[in-house]
Structure 1
Amino acid sequence: MKKVKLYIARHGKTMFNTIGRAQGWSDTPLTAQGELGIRELGIGLKEAGIVFDAAFSSDSGRTMQTMEIILKECQQEKIPYTRDKRIREWCFGSLDGGYDGELFYGVLPRTKAFENGRDMKDVPYPELAESLVEVDTANWAEPWPVLRKRIYDGFEAIAVQMEEQGGGNAIVVSHGMTINTFAWLVEPNQPRLSLDNGSVTVANYEDGRFILETVGDMSYRQIGRKILEDVENA
């Protein structure tokens, strides 16, 4: 049986990403720049010779749009493709769609988790999740036990499905905070990185556990960008 390897990409840059709005369960499409960035990713993955056996994304429009571009550029549009709401982004509740500055630097810093001058990067995910629950007037934000289980179960289900089908490579498109949370659940000492759109996090799955290979790798996009530039300059 082949080993199970998940290539987990963050979706392309969207309208809300561009104007700095919190985009949890709300959704906006990729911009022209975002589409180009994912073309670079798809071309880079193809150049690396990576063959995927299956594709998975969240059920958000931005991840599905991203997946469509990746599979087209990789010339692997006919592989099985599944959407799974468990690997959606965090839900920001009543603050979803608001400006990042208002959420992350205005409302959340007034919660208990940010007492004594703690910065966003100093607040662990469990406390950050509870801060969102604390300020969400709509009661939509997920408590940490629910959020943690949803995210881990989603990625584990993908890995188990791949294992049951004989292993292989899966391309998975998800979201920045969701991918970072998954990486933190796998390796709690993993530094919290700001994942770029189109970055790739690779996780191997064997004997019922994940092992991170890379987090936030931009090399595939860089390779694809160089190929596109060479074509334009030819």
Structure 2
Amino acid sequence: MTGRVLVARHGETMLNVLARVQGWCDSPLTERGRAEAAALGVSVGAAGSVGAVFCADSGRHRETAALAMPGVPARADARWRELAFGAYEGALSARLWNDLRRAYGPADGGGVLEALVALPDLADHGALPVESAATLRARAREAFEIAAAEAPVHDVLVVTSGLTMLALLAELDVDASRFDGGVHNGAHVVITRRSGGWRVE
């Protein structure tokens, strides 16, 4: 592989500002989020030549991709969506994290997915059941393989969400401990193939 896969989190949204769980819910980027998306474009554009863009199919992901790389049409793929949070969709984030801490204590970047899907309120929601960590990891891996197939030709930008990024890194067996505090809006990682495996630069 001569190119790289740059995987980024979307810019700040209105639900981020309101401290609400987003998941499969959606909200537009804030002014700051649009600036973060533009800065992402400058950052990845300065690092190399992005010839393909993939993103989740939600508005916040599409908007981030369009602002970051206005000259490269993004290919939307539902597999890049955030984890479905079940009953916590749209709820105050503090409620979710307080319930997690009460049930399991502090959860790191890798353990948070397993802890989330074990919460009863998530599992009991009939309209939108929570996804398992295995399901999120599998769909992120499938989407990543499609993006990575283009990397020998040029760099590839993917716009997704924070937990999906963590799930992908876990699936690629990459140490995600640096993200124990979460993935910031507009942040990205550079993934390259090294000696038969994957590495984050």
Task: Say whether the fold is shared (TM-score over 0.5).
Answer: yes
1:157 maps to which residue? 146
Larger radius of gyration: 1
**TM-score computed with the length of structure 1 as normaliser:** 0.75
The CA RMSD measured in Å over matched residues stands at 2.2
Per-residue CA distance 1:10-56 (angstroms, 9 max, x = gap): 1000001111101100000000111112222223333x252111110
8 Å contact kept, 2:82–2:161: yes
CA distance in 2, matches of 1:58, 1:66: 10
Decide which of 53, 61, 64 is 1:63's aligned counterpart: 61
Conserved in 1, the CA contact under 8 Å of 2:100 and 2:116? no
Shift of 1:99: 0.5
| Residue type of the alignment partner of 1:157 | I
Verify: 1:108 aligned to 2:92, yes or no. Answer: no
Tell me: CA distance 1:198–1:154, structure 2 relative to 1, closer, same or farther (3 Å).
Answer: same
Where does residue 171 of structure 1 map in the other structure? Answer: 157
- SS of the equivalent of 1:53 reads strand
User: Aligned match of 1:135 in 106, 116, 121?
Assistant: 121
Change (3 A) 1:40 1:196: same
Count of aligned positions: 196
The separation in 1 between residues aligned to 2:63 and 2:102, in whole angstroms, is 36
The alpha carbon displacement at 1:180 in A equals 1.6
SS state at 1:197 partner:
coil
Q: Secondary structure at the match of 1:120?
A: coil
State the 1:103 CA deviation. Answer: 0.9
Equivalent residue for 1:197? Answer: 185
- The Cα shift of 1:149 comes to 1.1
**Alpha carbons of 1:205 and 1:49: their partners in 2 closer, same or farther (altered >3 Å)?**
closer
TM-score w.r.t. length of structure 2: 0.86
Where does the alignment leave 5 or more consecutive residues of structure 1 unmatched? Answer: 214-234
Structure 2 unaligned segments of length 5 or more: list them. none
Structure-2 change in CA distance of 1:4 and 1:205 (3 Å): farther
2:7 is matched with 8
* 1:211 partner amino acid: R
Change (3 A) 1:24 1:108: same
